[in-house]
A and B are shown apart, each in its own frame.
Chain A
């Protein structure tokens, strides 16, 4: 037990160092760096490569990573990305850093190669670590280093925040970002400074976590999750709560591995039942449980206690493309072109490519669920892939194990997913993008570590077979089936957009206050959007499984889901065409790369581009489709506005 307390405090200390960086940067710049943990991963691997590949001295490598590479990275990110995000709506800011989250691990692989970095663990203190005993508890030099580092970081942060001009500026910015600028703090300098410190803390966390647990993505996913839960405990702004919350999480996660806790869990869950995987993966579930508990507890304290960002930008969020202002032929032309393209597809596409496009259509259906929940509902959900995956697993169970017709199994499974989607969203529905994003991510990981690992679902890592619908097994009929189903789902989405529900959601996106005072239930509207989106994701998920003829849980990994969101947002989260093109891009692009660009690193290209696409959203929040269709009109309008402004100035000057 005491061993677990020590490891818990050590793990918690690493979380704490990372979380302090995350909270500091969010509180002072209002940009929640979703990619913080992944940047820690990049910096950790940088340290590893300096030592293992270039033969540097460990301590020198550690110092260079934390005090040279990390600050430079902070300045670079601030200059090219975070600075331009400052005046964008909260959802755009979040999606941009989600793009970074997607691009950074892929870029890390391209820069440093793919190798496993688990076997060698360079250490900043002694390698191999020295072993000590303290009060009869075994502890090694790495653990002592991590605990000391956390204490030093905590003291330094306290000193910086309390007693330096920088700290004063940060505290002012936390309370009133706009006022801090007005009363004369150099906000640019403060922001840049915050990113430098944030990245240094990420560097410390990355080096220490890698040393202690291995330089692989899985460990850093835990870091990401742990620090997100701690951020919720800290209500996004309290540094002491972030620190304490991190320690608590680390302790809870490690203690849950102890025999006592495991035995207690096995008393509740039958050791031989398929759900016993929950016990093995319990540490991974803790961040979600903690988040939910604290969200519910804080809700009781009242909503204003959350630092919900009220610095709403002037431009409408992920703006609507108003189709009604286009002439009829412009509206019908794309549909006609698409229809002809689909009908003639077997003429110009080989069987393989028909099947790839069908896969893209299945994905596009899942992506329509993002169109509903994010585009229409204005909410960031990272659990859409999980809804798809659960539906796929249920479809497989119904179709293969219970002998149901697959065309019946898919909608049935999608219906079962609806309440799951509502449960995922409910606790954080009214707390804004950020909390909802974090809570849905945690929910997705909870499902991934439990349900997706149930033996009957995982089926020895192969997944359960899903047959294609009777008569649609061949590539061409399957392609036509998917095209037809996409049209049906797209019509439903279009119906919603134009309906009362769509109007209500649109009203809600711009003013929740006014919507509430009209008598419209905000929670019900959001929940309805979530329910519909879960159903659509379920349909898409089932169809996606029939494409590969298997429901493989690994294909519904949360990290892939984050990429999905990035892709859809890049192409346009408000339009059906955006979802369609995103789905096709996601299926076709990797295949093209695989066929034509062989060589190490190229397979990361699609992921990197999708990530960069979402990052680029900061420049054009409405997506590629909008840019193509309306770009010229927007530019013309801007030109006219400028011209008029000049005229007004000229008149005023005379």
Chain B
């Protein structure tokens, strides 16, 4: 469908858990600066696909390429350093850290040689912000409307805010591709609309490619350039939001009618 080499490119990915086929020959290409939607009913394999993309799940067959590198067997750490970031459907916040510290941790990854950093940390110079750190972090906090709660411990923020903290943390690693796992779940209609605005801004102003896994089909169809629909681990439709919206197989999968 796309001639330009995709920034993140998964091909023919198959994942089995015991006897269960979670993903069966799924391909997903994410061009530079695009928003790609991944939708499907419960149990379709969306979160598993995210696991494969971010390196937490090893596929049985298939390949994953990131920025031209084969990362099929690479660790999450290596993928992160190649510009991949993600959020989690079940929040994975660092409960003992403040909101701001989440961004600090993410920002400082790979900024110094580990040995140098450890040496600085031991003598007490490790708590100083890096050059540019404060500005970058303040910018992200403001973008996501988190400035006011920056000094609050993450354990105390409500679910919807927690999702924004996860996005902010991911952005602080300066990703080229951002994987968002159910970013709108737990948000009310206003918050969802605001989130959609933020995501559009991210792509427009920062050129970040986004991959969205969502229950909220309307939000995805409104935002995404390309949408892939999964059902029982198989890709059943692929195309622009307009094409997917009218696809009979998609309607059958969502409405449960036989086509």
Contacts and interface: CB of A to CB of B under 8 A. Distances in A.
A532 B123 CA distance: 13
A516 B96 contact: no
Interface string A488-515: 0001101110111111101101110111
Contacts of A492: 122, 124
A316 B155 contact: yes
A525 B80 CA distance: 16
Contact of B96 (A500, A506, A513, A515): A506
A239 B54 CA distance: 36
B44 to A, nearest CB: 22
Contacts of B169: 514, 518
A451 B85 CA distance: 47
A420 interface: no
Contacts of A340: none
Contact of B121 (A499, A509, A510, A519): A499
A492 B104 CA distance: 21
Contacts, number: 112
Interface string A515-535: 111111100100010001000
B97 A496 contact: no
B114 A528 contact: yes
A506 B97 contact: yes
A518 B88 CA distance: 12
B145 interface: no
Nearest to A302: B58
Contact of A514 (B78, B88, B108, B114): B88
Contact of A517 (B80, B96, B117, B127): B80
B96 A519 contact: no
A560 interface: no
A491 B124 contact: yes
B101 interface: yes
Interface residues of A, number: 33
A528 B113 CA distance: 13
A519 B80 contact: yes
Contacts of B79: 517
Interface string B70-101: 00000111111100011010001111110001
A511 B122 contact: no
A contact patch SS:
helix
Contacts of A518: 80, 85, 105-106, 109, 169, 173
B54 A503 contact: no
A319 interface: yes
B81 A499 contact: no
Contact of B124 (A495, A503, A528): A495
A532 B94 contact: no
A499 B96 contact: no
Contacts of B21: none
A510 B105 contact: no
Nearest to B111: A500
Nearest to A491: B124
Q: Which of B54, B94, B102, B120 has the most CB of A within 10 A?
A: B94
Q: For the complex of A and B, list the 10 residue pairs with the smallest distance between their C-beta atoms, beginning with the closest.
A: A499-B126, A519-B80, A499-B121, A514-B92, A495-B124, A511-B92, A507-B94, A516-B76, A519-B109, A498-B127
Given A495-B127, A500-B117, A516-B75, 11 more contacts: A491-B124, A495-B126, A496-B122, A503-B101, A503-B105, A507-B102, A510-B94, A510-B95, A517-B56, A517-B86, A518-B105
29 contacts: A316-B96, A319-B96, A322-B96, A322-B153, A492-B124, A498-B124, A499-B121, A499-B124, A499-B127, A500-B104, A506-B94, A506-B96, A507-B97, A510-B93, A511-B92, A513-B56, A513-B88, A516-B75, A517-B54, A517-B79, A517-B80, A517-B85, A517-B86, A518-B106, A518-B109, A518-B169, A519-B81, A520-B109, A521-B114
